[in-house]
Amino acid sequence: MNEFVQQVLNGLAIGSVYALVAVGYTLVFGVLRFINFAHGSVLTFAAYVSLFSVLVFKVPFPFAFGASLVLSGLFSIMIERQAYRPLRARGAPNLNLLITSIGVSLLVENAIIVFYSADFFVFPRVLPSGTVSLLGLATAPPIDLLLTAVAVFLMSALYMFVNFSKMGVAIQALAHDRDAAALMGININLTIAYTFFIAGVMASSAGVLIGIKFNVNPYLGGLFGVKSFAAAVVGGIGSIPGSYFGGYLIGLLETMGAGYVSSNYKDAIAFVLLVLILLFKPSGLLGRGIQEKV
Amino acid sequence: MDGFRVKFIRGLGVLGLSASVAWVLASAIRARLPNYITGLLTVVAINSVTALGWNLVSGFTGQFNLGHAGFMAAGGYTSAILMIRLKWPFPVSFICGAAFAGFLGFLVGFPSLRLVGDYLAIVTLGFQYIILAVLNNTTPLTGGGLGLAGVPFRTHLPTATLTVVVTLWLLSNLVRSKQGRCFVAVKEDEIAAQSVGINTTYYKVLAFIISSMLAGLAGSLLGHFMMYLHPDIFNYLKTIESVSMVILGGLGSLTGSIVGALCITLVPEVFRNLATFVAGFGLMRASDFLRRGWMVFYALLFVVMMLARPRGLMGGRELTWEGVRSFAARLVTLRGVRGWPSSKSET
Question: What's the mean pLDDT in B59-67?
Answer: 91
pLDDT in tens, A202-223: 999 999 999 998 889 988 888 8
Residues 188-207 of B with CB under 8 A from A: 190-192
Beta carbons of B299 and A106 less than 8 Å apart = yes
- Say yes or no to pLDDT of B342 above 60: no
- Identify whether A33 is part of a domain: yes
Nearest to B129 among A100, A233, A271 (CB): A271
Question: What's the mean pLDDT in A197-205?
Answer: 94
Maximum Cα–Cα distance for chain A, whole Å?
60
Amino acid at A202: M
Query: Rounded CA gap, B287 and A101, in Å?
Result: 30
Beta carbons of A275 and B111 less than 8 Å apart = yes
- Identify whether A290 is part of a domain: no
- Say yes or no to pLDDT of B47 above 90: yes
- Identify whether A246 is part of a domain: no
Q: Are strands A132-134 and A138-140 parallel, antiparallel or unpaired?
A: antiparallel
- For position B347, what pLDDT does the model report? 41
- By C-alpha distance, the chain A residue nearest B125 is A226
- By C-alpha distance, the chain A residue nearest B298 is A107
Query: Rounded CA gap, B177 and B170, in Å?
Result: 11
Closest to B261 in 3D by CA, of B31, B13, B76, B40:
B40
Question: What's the mean pLDDT in B324-346?
Answer: 59
Nearest to A35 among B118, B190, B302 (CB): B118
Nearest to B302 among A95, A106, A279 (CB): A106
- Identify whether A283 is part of a domain: no
Q: How far is A196 from chain B (nearest CA, A)?
A: 19
Give the helix ranges, DSSP H, for chain B: 2-32, 35-54, 68-85, 90-113, 119-137, 139-142, 157-175, 178-188, 190-195, 200-226, 236-249, 254-279, 284-308, 321-333
- By C-alpha distance, the chain B residue nearest A229 is B122
Inform me whether the C-beta atom of residue B138 falls under 8 Å from chain A C-beta atoms.
Answer: no
Q: How far is A124 from chain B (nearest CA, A)?
A: 28
Inform me whether the C-beta atom of residue A89 falls under 8 Å from chain B C-beta atoms.
Answer: no
Which of B139, B288, B303, B347 is the best substitution to test chain A (most A C-beta atoms within 10 A)? B303
- Identify whether A123 is part of a domain: yes
Q: How far is B293 from chain A (nearest CA, A)?
A: 7
Inform me whether the C-beta atom of residue A289 falls under 8 Å from chain B C-beta atoms.
Answer: no
Query: What are the chain A neighbours of B136 within 8 Å (beta carbons)?
Result: 264
- Identify whether A221 is part of a domain: yes
Q: What is the band of B163 on the pLDDT scale with cuts at 50, 70, 90?
A: very high
The range of the structural domain enclosing residue A88 comes to 14-225
Question: What's the mean pLDDT in B293-314?
Answer: 84
Q: What is the band of A1 on the pLDDT scale with cuts at 50, 70, 90?
A: low
Q: How far is A181 from chain B (nearest CA, A)?
A: 22
Query: Rounded CA gap, A252 and B193, in Å?
Result: 42
pLDDT in tens, B190-248: 889 999 999 999 999 999 999 999 999 999 999 999 999 999 999 888 999 999 999 99
Beta carbons of A271 and B123 less than 8 Å apart = yes
Phi then psi for residue A93, to 5 deg, are -65, 160
Query: What are the chain B neighbours of A290 within 8 Å (beta carbons)?
Result: 117
- Identify whether A65 is part of a domain: yes
Nearest to A275 among B116, B123, B137 (CB): B123
Q: What is the ipTM of this complex?
A: 0.85
- Identify whether A81 is part of a domain: yes
Number of separate domains in chain A: 1
Give the H or E element holding residue B149.
strand B148-149
Burial A229-265 (b: 16+ CB within 10 A, else e): bbbbbbbbbbbbebbbbbbbbbbbbbbbbbbeeeeeb
Residues 101-130 of B with CB under 8 A from A: 108, 111-112, 114-119, 121-123, 125-127, 129-130
Q: CB–CB of B260/B237 below 8 Å?
A: no
What does the mean pLDDT of chain B come to? 87
Alpha carbon separation from B65 to A106, A222, B55, B179 (Å, rounded):
17, 17, 10, 19
- Say yes or no to pLDDT of A128 above 50: yes
Amino acid at B189: D
Residues 280-319 of B with CB under 8 A from A: 292-293, 295-296, 298-303, 306-307, 310
- For position B345, what pLDDT does the model report? 43
Q: How far is A277 from chain B (nearest CA, A)?
A: 9
Q: What is the band of A158 on the pLDDT scale with cuts at 50, 70, 90?
A: very high
Q: What is the band of A288 on the pLDDT scale with cuts at 50, 70, 90?
A: confident
DSSP tag of B228: E
pLDDT in tens, A58-99: 889 999 999 999 999 999 999 999 999 999 888 888 888 999
- Say yes or no to pLDDT of A32 above 80: yes
- For position B344, what pLDDT does the model report? 45
Residues 12-41 of B with CB under 8 A from A: none
